[in-house]
Structures are given as C-alpha cells and as structure tokens.
Amino acid sequence: MLAENLFISKTTTLFNNALASLETLHIAFCFDDNYAMPASIAMSSVIVNNPNKNLVFHLFANNVSNEKIARFNQLTKENTSIICYEISNEFSINPDTLVLHVSASTCLRFVVPQILNKVTSRVLYLDCDVLCINSLDELVSTDLTNKFSAVVPDIGKTQEKQCAACDIPYGEYFNAGMIYINTDMWVENNLTEKAFNMINSGKVYKFADQDVLNILMQGKTVFLPKRFNTITSLTVGGNEDNLIEADTAIIHYVTGNKPWYQLYITQLYQHYIATSPWANDRLLLANENAPSTTRRYAKLLASQHKYLAAIKYYVLYLMHKTTKKR
C-alpha cells in the first residue's frame, strides 16, 4: 500500500458544520489553481440542491494559492464542511501519458478513495466542470455491494474507440467525471497502487486516468442513467443547456469550451456563479490557450450582422495569436 505522505503534505479543515438530523454525503474534487473557480461553482450547485444532507467536501488541491483556498470559506452553511488536502511535491505523473491536454491533477482521483477510506465507505467524486441541478438522493442510494463504483456510460463516439482500445465490451466504457465509489472495495483491491503503476508504466492511454479506471474496475461497476452525468459540449452562446432534460442531476461540460468563459456561458451556469465565491469576478473571454474560439465568436457576430463587434473580436483574436507566438 502506498504511503499517504507520498500524496498529501498538509490537511486543513476550513470549517466543520453538521446537523444531527441529516445523513452525511462525502464529495471529492481534485484541482489545480486554474480550476479552483469552477470547483467552487460546482460545490455551490451541490449545496443549493441538496439541503437534506450534511455535505462534507474533500478538496484535493494541487498548487492552489492561499487566496483562492480562502475563498472557499464563503461556502459555509449549517450543513456543510470543507476539508482541504494540499498535494505533496512528491506527487508526479509520467508526462508522456498525459496527452489531449490532460492535467496531472486529474490523476489525483486515484488517491481519493485510499485517503478517505478512513472516514467513509462511500464517496462521490466529481470533476470540476460539472453542475448539480437536482437532488443526488437517488444516486447515493445506489447499492454498491461487491462493486467498485456507480458510473454512467460514455457517449457512443467514445465507446466505439475506447472499448476496443481498453478491451472492454461495447457500452461498458464509462465517463470518469462522476464516480460514486465504494472505498472499502477500492482499498481491499489496492487500486491506488495499481492505477499509478499503470499510468506511470510508459504506456500511453488516450484518456489517461479515465482509461486506467475503466480497465481496473471492469465488470465491477453499476451503470446509472445519463441524467447523473449528462455529457454536454458547448458552442458559442451556450444554448445547449436549454436542451437539458428536467430530471437531469449532473451536467458535465466536456471539451475546452467551458461555461465559465464569456463566449460559452449559459444562463443556468451564470445562476450558480452568482451563488459562488467568484460571483463578482470578471470572466475571461475564452480559454487563453485556445484563441481560435475568439475567431469563431467574431464569425458568429458577423453572421448576425453585428459587424463592429465582429471586427473587435477578430482583432482580439489576432492580438492573442500574435502574443502567443512571441
């Protein structure tokens, strides 16, 4: 079993509130400094829609500034607790396997069940690019007896490619943005060490940690309806949220077009930003690593005959592109 100090350098309880009459739900997020804001928005959405639970948030923070960590104190409620785990400098992932702009921080989910098994046999892992828009009661009542986790199958296009690549039956490749984990089963089978051995072996997995988790947990998962991990790809204007079904519990915004950028923000996401510690911050126009999104916005404005605005954003695109080349 890998030692905890290989991963965690410091643990801090930001606040600890609980109501004796409520059941407790443990939820984990893993992020670096760039994802602190969306993590807080996702947490706020969980808090708003699950007032009938004691919510214990476990934040696995990789090089996150003290200023940003301090902001999470604004999420305090009478049924909410937050514990922050600072990631050790010893934590590392073979960079050769981190393709498709995957961050090393995403592999922190390998650590979560082992660390939290001391306090809970069940934990809900969520990516930071999600919104919870309904109660999680049905999800967390899932029976995980003799199962590693409850998950949602990925979309068909991903199934077609990754089932073959990972030697998994079609339809059983899951998206790892939401995983309800049986920590006892995880620890008994030593999955943390197995996962790190796989990811650092030198073999390149297209979807890195997600592929590894699919391979390790194959045949030992409960598959849930897509409303518990509704995969959504945003386009300029963020109108895709209007197509979300009413019973959806979790929206998962995949691709680089994230709703915390001005070009892709949705009315629904804006509502939850307003309930978060980042409510008064100005949003970036788009992903600074993807200036082409600004060009696409200029094209959209031109198609709407908003020519002055289109010129403005096209100039911003050119400036951004020029700056990146220096």
Q: Which two tokens mark 127?
A: 């990516």
Residue type, 76: T
CA angle at 31 for the pair 28 and 37, rounded to the nearest 5°: 100
- State the Cα–Cα distance between residues 11 and 87, nearest whole angstrom: 9
- State the Cα–Cα distance between residues 170 and 37, nearest whole angstrom: 35
Given the structure tokens 């828009």, which residue do they identify? Answer: 133
- State the Cα–Cα distance between residues 313 and 301, nearest whole angstrom: 9
- State the Cα–Cα distance between residues 13 and 281, nearest whole angstrom: 25
- State the Cα–Cα distance between residues 114 and 188, nearest whole angstrom: 10
- State the Cα–Cα distance between residues 51 and 132, nearest whole angstrom: 13
Region for 237 from its dihedrals, namely left if φ exceeds 0, alpha if ψ lies in -120 to 50, beta otherwise: left
- State the Cα–Cα distance between residues 323 and 326, nearest whole angstrom: 6
Q: Which two tokens mark 237?
A: 């204007």
Question: pTM value?
Answer: 0.89
Per-residue pLDDT tens digits of the chain, which is 326 residues long: 555 666 888 999 999 999 999 999 999 999 999 999 999 999 999 999 999 999 999 999 989 999 999 999 999 999 999 999 998 876 665 555 554 444 445 568 888 999 999 999 999 999 999 999 999 999 999 999 999 999 999 998 888 888 888 889 999 999 999 999 999 999 999 999 898 888 877 787 777 888 999 999 999 999 999 999 999 999 888 899 999 999 999 999 998 889 999 889 999 999 999 999 999 999 988 776 666 777 877 887 888 888 888 888 788 778 767 665 54
Residues 159 and 153 sit within 8 Å (Cβ to Cβ): yes
Q: In angstroms, how far is CA 299 from the centroid of its own chain?
A: 30
Please give the pLDDT value at position 44: 98
The size of the chain, in residues, is 326
